[in-house]
Chains A and B, each alone.
Chain A
């Protein structure tokens, strides 16, 4: 029975492709790429639990709804209604999409020295062709069903190009809203971010459904960091319990670049983060951090890959998870060190707290090391809140609920500490406090 249902969405996507493609105004090369991609998707399909990388995450129930797979025409939303989902106490460039369609009145783009605009524009206008030809779809070393599906339907998303030696003057927010006007909606944002030599950028990304209608987002983001570039990316995943997200992000780093990805997974029905870093130049640094706090029947799966191709590099992974009720978490962290990649420092740590007996976490580090002069470590802990610490707080008059929240906040803290923008840090802290059901009673 379940196999039939999966085929239905797959069939729907394949059969809609031609009509979709005909309606797209893109460069000929892109048409070719997309046609190739749909064939790949036809062959590979959606991943099943039989694949090792999907062993603990089943897409069955997420693929069931009868999703509308085309963005329709633009719907407007009042800024006042969605303001709370944006980090609005700092000045930012905003790329806001509603049901997969760009909303010009909620966005703020620029071409003043840096390019912060739309992928649809980049895929159709000649002035972007060189960048698109050089970078689009080039960060994905091995295709899979989900990336190919996204490529086949790639039409809209963020196009960010920070030119050589420039520091983006404002952070950039990429926000995808789902209005719920469709009974069920599938969107496939595609982001391309190119940061040239010595350039810097900070990006905040969020997916937000505004109703309880099922939403499935299959997102692909490619990031290219040039020599000595700095990219700090923050993902806020705090969506409704009816929204599911599969995010595949690929970051290619050249020498001396410094890239960080912080993922805050606090909501959603099913969230799968495929995060891939490729260090293709010496002396580069990668930071992958995450905080997961979920409850009820939520599921969050972090699947990370750090591939050290060049010597003298560093990578740090720190993922913290707190699981209540029947929630489930997965951490699958792979580190690959090529034979030529000597003098690598690669650290990985996954720490989890289970608040209830029925919560589950599956944690698997994988180290594939082919060089002989490296320092790699991995650690995983699964436990409960420390009773002595709880007693310490309660003995000072702090009630049990607040004491537990304080400890959970403290547990997640060193992931928060590395957030470079104070307003973002405060924002995340606020959302965590809400999630923990307490007011933390102090400004941070």
Chain B
């Protein structure tokens, strides 16, 4: 179905790494203002899907399209996709010693601005924004001068991902297993942060293994991915059904 306000349209996406096909024909449409969740067993290709949308070059797109706000992303580098408004919150955020959280986010924001023909953000505006977003995510100020992700606990890393998301204010936020390794309190803070950032103009794609996150970030659509394909889509009740019944009842051949 072609609708005017499709923010993301993935059509028959096939992707491989080292000649092994991981995505075997993904179809997905996300409209502005929506929250979609993708659940599925380990090895189903959920993280690969998020990496391919974000432009990770290790994966080869062998067939299909990814259209974001009317633009075909296929030839665009990861930084170009980021400039268009795509943000990927990593399952395993990378450590960058010697670069503080603050300096990192400054570099990221100014890179975005440069791509729009704007100059660097004025220092006081940047500082104000950093403080605001850090407060919203209950991140201690001392944290901001630490080296990015170095020595951070799992929960701290994930909160830092959402902090970056808050600072960069993307149109499409892909959250890859953001809930893994989080205790319930950390989960609530992260979910709260994501919910505060939501508006009619942006969208969220949640990749998750557990239904628990979806109690806090309530999805409009839940998709189930098995063996490189989306085998079922439904409302949020589908998540509960999966929790109860597991994934076995959804073998791809049966759909």
Residues of A within 8 A of B (CB): 386-389, 391-400, 402-403, 406-407, 409-410, 412-414, 416-417, 440-442, 444
Q: Are A409 and B99 in contact (CB under 8 A)?
A: yes
Residue numbers in A under 8 Å from B81 (CB-CB): 395
In whole angstroms, what is the CA distance A388 to B176 when docked?
Answer: 15
Chain A binding surface, main DSSP class: helix
Select from chain A the residue with minimum beta-carbon distance to B164: A396
Most chain A CB within a 10 A radius of its CB, from B108, B111, B112, B168:
B111
In the bound complex, residues from chain A placing their C-beta under 8 Å from that of B77 are 394, 400
B58 at the A/B interface (Cβ < 8 Å)?
yes
Whole-angstrom CA separation of A336 from B35 in the bound complex: 63
Residue from A396, A412, A442 having most chain B Cβ neighbours under 10 A: A396
CA distance A387 to B78 in the complex (A): 12
7 pairs of A and B residues whose beta carbons are closest in the complex: A413-B98, A394-B78, A397-B82, A396-B108, A392-B94, A442-B103, A397-B111
- By a CB distance below 8 angstroms, the chain A residues around B107 are 398, 402, 406, 440-442
- Cβ contacts A to B, 30 pairs, < 8 Å: A388-B94, A389-B94, A391-B58, A392-B96, A394-B82, A395-B78, A395-B82, A395-B87, A395-B88, A396-B82, A396-B87, A397-B83, A397-B112, A397-B115, A398-B79, A398-B108, A399-B111, A400-B77, A400-B79, A402-B111, A406-B99, A409-B99, A410-B97, A410-B98, A414-B97, A416-B98, A417-B98, A441-B106, A441-B110, A442-B106
User: Within 8 Å CB of A412, what residues of B?
Assistant: 98
List B residues 153-205 near A (Cβ within 8 Å).
164, 168
A398 near B90 with CB under 8 A, answer no
Q: Does A395 lie within 8 Å of B115, measured CB to CB?
A: no
Q: Mark B101-133, 1 if CB is under 8 A from A, else 0.
A: 001101110111001000010000000000000
Cβ of B57 within 8 Å of any chain A Cβ, yes or no, is yes
Q: In the bound complex, do residue B98 and residue A414 qualify as a contact, i.e. CB atoms below 8 Å apart?
A: yes
Whether the pair A406, B96 counts as a contact (CB closer than 8 A) is: yes
Q: Roughly how many angstroms separate A391 CA and B59 CA in the complex, as a whole number? A: 12
Can you add 6 more A-B contacts, CB < 8 Å, to A394-B78, A442-B103? A394-B55, A394-B79, A409-B98, A410-B96, A413-B97, A440-B107
| Residue among A398, A413, A416, A417 making CB contact with B111, cutoff 8 Å | A398
Measured CB to CB, the residues of B under 8 A from A are 51, 54-58, 77-79, 81-83, 87-88, 90, 92-94, 96-99, 103-104, 106-108, 110-112, 115, 120, 164, 168
Minimal beta-carbon separation of B227 from chain A (angstroms): 24
Q: Which residues of B contact A397 (CB under 8 A)?
A: 79, 82-83, 108, 111-112, 115, 168
- Inter-chain contacts of B51 with A (CB < 8 A): 391
Q: How many angstroms between the C-alpha atoms of A194 and B94 in the bound complex? A: 46
Residue of B nearest to A397 (CB): B82
- Which residue of A is nearest B78, CB measured? A394
Measured in the bound complex, the distance between the Cα atoms of B97 and A407 in whole Å is 9
In whole angstroms, what is the CA distance A209 to B96 when docked?
A: 35
Q: Which of B83, B87, B97, B98 has the most CB of A within 10 A?
A: B98
CB-based contact B58/A399 at 8 Å? no
Q: With A and B bound together, what is the CA distance between A401 and B99 in angstroms? A: 16
A392 touches B90 (CB 8 A): yes
Residues of A within 8 A of B103 (CB): 441-442, 444
Instruction: Write out the residue numbers on chain A whose beta carbons fall within 8 Å of the beta carbon of B58.
Output: 387, 391
Enumerate chain A residues within 8 angstroms of B78, measured Cβ to Cβ: 391, 394-395
A410 CB, min distance to chain B CBs, angstroms: 5
Complexed CA–CA distance, A400 and B107 (Å): 13
A388 and B106 alpha carbons, distance in the complex (Å)? 21
A386 contacts which chain B residues (CB < 8 A)? 94
Complex CA distance for A389 and B112, rounded to whole angstroms: 19
Min CB gap A51→B, angstroms = 38
Name the distance in Å between A203's Cβ and chain B's nearest Cβ.
25
Of listed B56, B81, B88, residue having the most chain A CB within 10 A: B56
How many angstroms between the C-alpha atoms of A211 and B107 in the bound complex? Answer: 36
Task: For the complex, give the distance between the alpha carbons of A444 and B145 in Å.
Answer: 11
CA distance A148 to B20 in the complex (A): 63
Among B54, B104, B107, B120, max chain A CB count under 10 A is at B107
Roughly how many angstroms separate A406 CA and B147 CA in the complex, as a whole number? 12
Across-interface contacts of A417 in B (CB, < 8 A): 98
Query: Shortest distance in angstroms between B197's beta carbon and chain A's nearest beta carbon?
Result: 16
A319–B168 Cα distance when bound, in Å, is: 36
Measured between alpha carbons, how far is A388 from B149 in the docked complex, in Å? 14
List, in ascending order, chain B residues with CB within 8 A of A406's CB: 96, 99, 107
Q: Cβ of B111: which chain A residues have Cβ within 8 Å of it?
A: 396-399, 402
Kindly provide the distance from the CB of B201 to the nearest chain A CB, expressed in whole angstroms: 19
Residues of chain A contacted by B93 (CB below 8 angstroms): 392
Distance, CA A414 to CA B79, complexed state (A)? 27
Q: How far is the CA of A409 from the CA of B79 in the complex (A)?
A: 20
Nearest residue in B to A429 (C-beta to C-beta)? B98
Give bound CA distance, A391 to B107, whole Å. Answer: 15
Least distance between A395 CB and chain B CB atoms (Å): 5
Chain A residue contacts of B112, Cβ below 8 A: 397
List of A residues within 8 angstroms of B97 by Cβ: 410, 413-414
* B115: A residues at CB distance < 8 A: 397
